[in-house]
């Protein structure tokens, strides 16, 4: 393991808080930043994130902070865990604070940048300049389980082997293993696409279509993930690992997944996308991801039929039963 390090975790939602708790338990000093000063005060007072992770107390070396400059002062590493639509804005703010400091930067944000359809490492390269020290962290994880210290495995991907290993070392302890690799494209595509498939399986299970249908959706969803990853320059084998198959299976089969619960809500046929999201009360990344992937697929002429039906569902162009019928009535073809 690396020696104890000062780390800033930017984003105090469930996932950012869970990662901050884990890093503090490993022995690092962690500044957990939120852009809302009132939330920082609440976190400091309660010593827990009562909204997202109730009952899981903060270690003494975890410091909630509402001021970005204060959060970044004297840290050696920065981990972004903000929504994908806020990724660029947060990076720009970080760069303005860093000046000429040499620092390790990673993100556990999943998805594409909605306005440009770019993968997040492309955004990071644009903002941070030539050849930055960056990595993307992804894999099959639920925030609650990470915060509780349950066994977890993730992937650290970077175009620099030493940077991927740096982040793997920071996270490592007896309950947490971080594998390393270089395919940032594949890791990011897997992290975004699995949310779309989780919506699809949530709809299927909400309609009581059975285990056969769920297995078909997961396996054919895997094919679509591979197809998109290859088109963007990713490696097929990445999709067979933690950031692909692992994350896909977890998100599609467990009700802790917000995207799966969103699909359940749509299956009722009584609620709009906005109403279901309001009931969940947290960001449903698959809703943004499917709109972005639709634009990419159209541009590249990719055949992604499950994604297409999820896109139509999210935009209320079809009913859940119509989506199922559209998929099942497709002409037969070789797998």
Which residue out of 95, 110, 118, 194 is catalytically annotated?
A: 194
What is the rounded CA–CA span in Å between residue 77 and residue 80?
10
CA proximity to 243, closest of 98, 135, 147, 328: 135
Strand partners, 6: 29
> Parallel, antiparallel, or unpaired: how do β-strands 62-65 and 29-33 relate?
parallel
Render 123-176 in DSSP notation, one character per residue.
Answer: HHHHHH-SS--EEEEE-S--HHHHHHT--EEEEEE-SSHHHHHHHHHHH-BTTE
**3-state secondary structure string across 83-133:** CHHHHHHHHHHHHHHHCCCCCEEEECCCCEECCCCEEHHHHHHHHHCCCCC
Q: How many CB atoms lie within 10 A of CB 153?
A: 15
Is 194 among the catalytic positions? yes
What is the rounded CA–CA span in Å between residue 5 and residue 11?
19
> Parallel, antiparallel, or unpaired: how do β-strands 104-107 and 112-113 relate?
unpaired
Q: Give, in order, the Cα–Cα distances in Å from 295 to each of 58, 100, 301.
A: 41, 37, 10
Q: How many CB atoms lie within 10 A of CB 224?
A: 22
What is the rounded CA–CA span in Å between residue 311 and residue 317?
9
Strand partners, 104: 77
SS3 of the chain: helix, strand, coil, percent, to 5: 55, 15, 30
Catalytic residues: 194
């Amino acid at each position: 393991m690396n020696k104890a390090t000062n780390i800033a975790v930017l984003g105090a939602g469930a996932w950012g808080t869970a990662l901050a708790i884990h890093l503090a338990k490993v022995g690092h000093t962690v500044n957990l930043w939120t852009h809302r000063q009132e939330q920082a005060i609440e976190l400091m007072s309660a010593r827990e994130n009562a909204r997202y992770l109730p009952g899981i107390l903060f270690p003494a070396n975890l410091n909630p902070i509402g001021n970005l400059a204060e959060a970044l002062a004297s840290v050696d590493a920065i981990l972004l865990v903000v929504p994908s639509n806020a990724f660029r804005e947060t990076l720009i703010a970080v760069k303005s604070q860093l000046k000429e400091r040499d620092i390790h930067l990673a993100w556990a944000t999943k998805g594409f940048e909605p306005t440009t359809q770019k993968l997040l490492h492309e955004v990071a390269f644009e903002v941070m300049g030539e050849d930055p020290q960056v990595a993307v962290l992804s894999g099959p994880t639920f925030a609650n389980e990470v915060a509780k210290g349950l066994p977890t495995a993730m992937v650290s991907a970077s175009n620099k082997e030493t940077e991927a290993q740096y982040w793997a070392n920071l996270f490592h302890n007896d309950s947490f293993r971080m594998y390393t690799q270089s395919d940032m494209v594949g890791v990011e595509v897997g992290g975004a696409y699995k949310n779309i498939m989780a919506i699809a399986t949530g709809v299927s299970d909400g309609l009581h279509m059975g285990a056969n249908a769920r297995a078909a959706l997961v396996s054919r969803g895997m094919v679509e993930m591979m197809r998109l990853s290859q088109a963007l320059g990713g490696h097929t084998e990445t999709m067979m690992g933690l950031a692909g198959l692992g994350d896909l299976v977890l998100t599609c089969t467990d009700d802790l997944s917000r995207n799966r619960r969103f699909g359940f809500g749509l299956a009722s046929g009584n609620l709009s996308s906005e109403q279901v999201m309001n009931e969940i009360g947290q960001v449903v990344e698959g809703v943004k991801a499917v709109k972005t992937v639709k634009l990419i697929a159209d541009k590249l002429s990719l055949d992604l039929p499950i994604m297409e039906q999820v896109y139509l569902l999210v935009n209320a162009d079809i009913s859940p039963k119509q989506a199922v019928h559209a998929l099942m009535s497709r002409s037969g073809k070789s797998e």
